[in-house]
Structures are given as structure tokens and as C-alpha cells.
Structure 1
Amino acid sequence: MRILVTRPQPEAERTAVQLRDFGHEVFIEPLLDFEVVTPAPAELDFAGLGAMALTSERAVNALVALGVVDQLTHLPVFAVGDRSAEAAVQAGFTEVYSADGALGDLERLIVRHGVSGTLFYPHGRDLSGDLPKILENYEIKCRGALVYTMNARQRLSAETAQRLRGGEFDAVLFYSQRTAHTFTELLRLEKIKVLVNSMKALCVSEKIAAALDGFAEVEIAREPTEAALFDLILRKHAPS
């Protein structure tokens, strides 16, 4: 298949490498760009912390960019998946646990281990769930800090717009609702509609699929992980 990958860099390139290894032709069009946000001083007061939660490797990148990561590396880390766990290890954290799944898996991991003190949760502007509120049910105090944002692109690249008009893609990959919304809006700006009807949308979750419109077919991974999305592609779209 000719696949368009819409996720941000550097994840997009990692995904593309894997898909090319599967035998597909891959094109990259990141629709969101990473930007570090400087939190209020009170949010960077690390007294009384007992652990840290991660739902994105970008949060680690932001902490490194803010120059505060060395003040946190003594904390145990609960990461939603292996990518964020690996980022924490690379940043110098030594006690790192991966839920290897989605937010619900992270919730169970944190509850199982417990937290002595406050759980620090550095995150982005757009969240798929409210972790501090969820953890209130277990009387676990969780303090969030906005440390990065993902800025939506204002236009598609000329090359991608031309390829879309030419019907050159068989499928588009979506990893977030925000990316799905952005793609839909940019198609409207470019007045590209009819040709999308011949493409498949391959999504990590049902929520992402619900944000899309106009695709010939929408396929959803069995669980919200890249591994499950790759499994979907291998099962249903293996190169002949």
C-alpha cells in the first residue's frame, strides 16, 4: 500500500521505517509540531513528590528542555507505554514501570504499586483523559503540570496536497483525535473531498475514527497501541 503517516516527528519517521520494512510505500506529513511550555513556578515546585506519571515521551523531552529533569530522576516513573518508559530511562530515571497500553492500564499500574506522596504528572495541552480526577477515586493525589503543546499545521505541504488530489494514497494512519481533526480541516481548506472517498483511514482507537469523515473505509486497531495498528496492517494489508 501507499500509506500517508500524519503523526509528528520523530515518531513519524520511526513508524515509516517499520512500514517500509513491511513492504509498503510510505509518505510523511506531520500535522502537529512540538513546542515546550514553561509552567508557572508553583508547578515546578517538586517538594513532596512520590512518583511521576507519563502519558507521552514528549513530556520527558519537555522536562529535559526546561532543565529540571535532574531534580526528578530519583522518582519512580509510571509510563503509559514502552516509548515513554524508554524516554524516561534515557533521561536518567532508574526506576521505570511501563503499563504497555492505554490510560486505563496506566491507572491500574499506579494503583497496584501505590504512591507515597504526590504523583507528578507533566503533560501536554490536549489530553485524552483526566488522570488526576481518575486517581481521586483511589485517594491518590496527582498534580499536573502543562509542559508542552502540539501546534496544528495551518496548511498541507504542496506535495501532499498534490498527491491527495492525484489519488496516490491507499491509506492514511491516525494516532490521535487532534491529528484526525486537523487532517479533516486541512482537507476542507484544500477543497479535497471526492478523492478521500477512495482511501482507507487506519486508526489506533474508536475515538479517533469518530473524528473522521468521508473516508471509503475506516479500520480500527484491536487496542490503542501502535503494535495493534501494525498487526491490523499485517493481517489485512500485507503486500502481495
Structure 2
Amino acid sequence: MRIWVARPEPGAARTGARLAALGHRPLLAPVLTVAPTGFRLPEETFAGLILTSANAAAALTPAERARLRVVPTFAVGARTAALARELGFADVREAEGDARALARLVRASLPMGAHLVHAAGAERKAEPAASLIAAGYRLAVCELYAARGVARLPDAAADALAGRRLDGALHYSRRSAQAAHDLATVAGLGGAFGDLTHYCLSADVAAPLVTAGVAVHFVPDRPGEDALLAGLPAPGPTGFR
């Protein structure tokens, strides 16, 4: 399959490499860019570090990593946990791929009232902060990075959609799915976008497409790239255009 990967870098390149290894043909055309905000973690003592994305882990400075290296680190899923370990965190605890599961993991690991720091993005959801605060934890949320939408549909994606040279699209976040749909629509390619086979990391990621009337082909039972890629058909002559 010729598959559009709309997620931002550096995740797009990693996903593209995995798709190529599986025999598919990735088109890397991110619709979001990730950049640091310049904010830093407070100089306080914390009982735990919460990471809801690999971008958050990557945004930590070497000094912040060193200061929190032995603190229990709660990662939302496998990729975030793996990067945290690569960055030197010694006690990484992995949730099941979503924010509510992450909150449950924290509650099972640390006593109520513990002081936690959440390295987050500027555009974040209510969870896990809402559940943790309601449960009595003290939480400092620090917006270390921001994902910004690109101004227009990337040329590579526009050309491929116009020429009907794409089979499907992978969507890793609600914002990137919404942005891909909106940019394609503004470019006059909404019909071609809607005709793609859409694979979404979770029901939440799929929501803006469903709302827009775009058919979503596959959502894994549990969020995670392995499960998402397992939903792709085996590559073969009938899978390509």
C-alpha cells in the first residue's frame, strides 16, 4: 500500500521506516510541526515524573533528566517508555497506551498526596491530570513543547491525492487527523481524502474523521503502533496503485 503518514517528525520517519520494512510505501507529509516552548521544569523535589508522549521526553534538558533520573517515571505507552529508558531514566513504568491507564498506574504506585510533575505539550487533554488531582495528588503541569499546524497541505500529499496515488493514511493523534482532513478539504481534495482507507491509533484519534463523515477502516483495541500496523493488509500486488 501507498500510505500517507501525517504525524509530525521525528515520529513520521520512524513510522515510515517500519512501513517500508513491512513492504508498504510510505509518504511522509506531516501536517504538524513540534517545537519547544522554552518553559522548564520547576526546581522542586518530585515523587514522580509523568510523560504522556515521546515528544515530552525528548523536550527535557540533560540537566532535568539527570535531576529526575531515579524518580519513578510514568510513560503513557511503549514508545514513550522506550525513549525514557534510552535517555537514562532508571525506573520507567509503562501504561497501556492511554491517559486514563496512566493515571491508574500512578495511583497504584504512589500514595495519595504525592507531588508529581507532568512534562506535557501545550495542546493537551484533561487526562491524566483531572483524575490525579481528583484523587488527591499534587501535580505541576509544564508545557515543554507545542505542535503547530502547517499553513497548507504539503505538496507531496496534495500531488498524491490529486493523482489518486494513495491507498491509505495513518493517524496518530486527534489533531493531526483533523488537520489532514481540513487541509485536504481546503485544497479541494476532500473527496480523494475521504476515499482513502484510514487507520487510527484510537477511537479518540478517529473522532474528528467520523464527525466529518469520513469512514475509518481500522482502530486497534488498545492504542499502540504495533497494534495499529497489525491492522494493515499484507503487502502484495493488489495493495498498490
Question: Is structure 2 residue 105 aligned with structure 1 residue 109?
Answer: yes
**Residue identity in the other structure for 2:187:** E
Contact 1:3 1:169 in 2 (8 A): yes
Match of 1:227 in 2: 226
Distance 1:45 1:207, change over 3 A: closer
- Deviation, 1:71, is 2.3
Q: CA 1:94/1:164 → structure 2, altered by over 3 Å: closer, same or farther?
A: same
In the alignment, does 2:5 pair up with 1:9? no
2:84 & 2:215 partners in 1: Cα distance?
39
Aligned match of 2:166: 169
In structure 2, distance between residues paired with 1:137 and 1:44: 22
SS at match of 1:44: coil
State the distance in 1 between where 2:26 and 2:86 align: 28
Extract unaligned runs of 5+ from structure 1: none
Candidates 132, 148, 151, aligned match of 2:148: 151
**How many residues are paired up?**
233
Q: Which residue of 1 aligns with 2:29?
A: 29
Q: Provide the alpha-carbon RMSD of the alignment.
A: 1.9
3-state SS, counterpart of residue 146 of structure 1: strand
> Counterpart of 1:59?
56
Aligned residues of 1:199 and 1:215 also touching (Cα < 8 A) = no
- 1:83 corresponds in structure 2 to 79
In 1, distance between residues paired with 2:158 and 2:80?
A: 32
Q: Distance in 2 between matches of 1:46 and 1:86?
A: 25
Q: 1:225 to 1:129 in 2, by over 3 A?
A: farther
AA in 2 matched with 1:230:
L
Question: Pairwise mapping of residues 177-188 of structure 1 onto structure 2 (< 5 A)?
Answer: 177-188=174-185
Between the aligned partners of 2:198 and 2:136, the Cα distance in structure 1 is 40
Closer/same/farther in 2, CA of residues 211 and 64 from structure 1, 3 Å limit: same
Q: What's the offset of the Cα at 1:132? A: 2.1
Q: Which amino acid aligns with 2:100?
A: G
Q: SS of 1:224's equivalent?
A: coil
Residue 10 of structure 1 and its aligned partner are, at CA, apart by 1.5
Tell me the equivalent position of 2:196: 199
Sequence identity, in percent?
Answer: 29
- Aligned partner of 1:99 among 95, 102, 118: 95
Answer yes or no: is the 8 Å Cα contact 1:81–1:101 preserved in 2: yes
**C-alpha distance 153-137 of structure 1, shift in aligned 2 (>3 A):** same
Structure 2 segments unaligned to the other structure (5+ residues): 237-241
Residue 157 of structure 2 is matched in structure 1 by 160
Q: How does 1:200-215 map to 2 (within 5 A)?
A: 200-212=197-209, 213=212, 215=214
1:70 to 66, 70, 78: 66
**Matched AA of 1:49:** F
One-letter amino acid of the structure 1 residue matched with residue 223 of structure 2: P
For the residue of structure 2 that corresponds to 1:181, the secondary structure is: helix
Query: What amino acid maps onto 2:99 in structure 1?
Result: L
Structure 1 counterpart SS, 2:61: helix
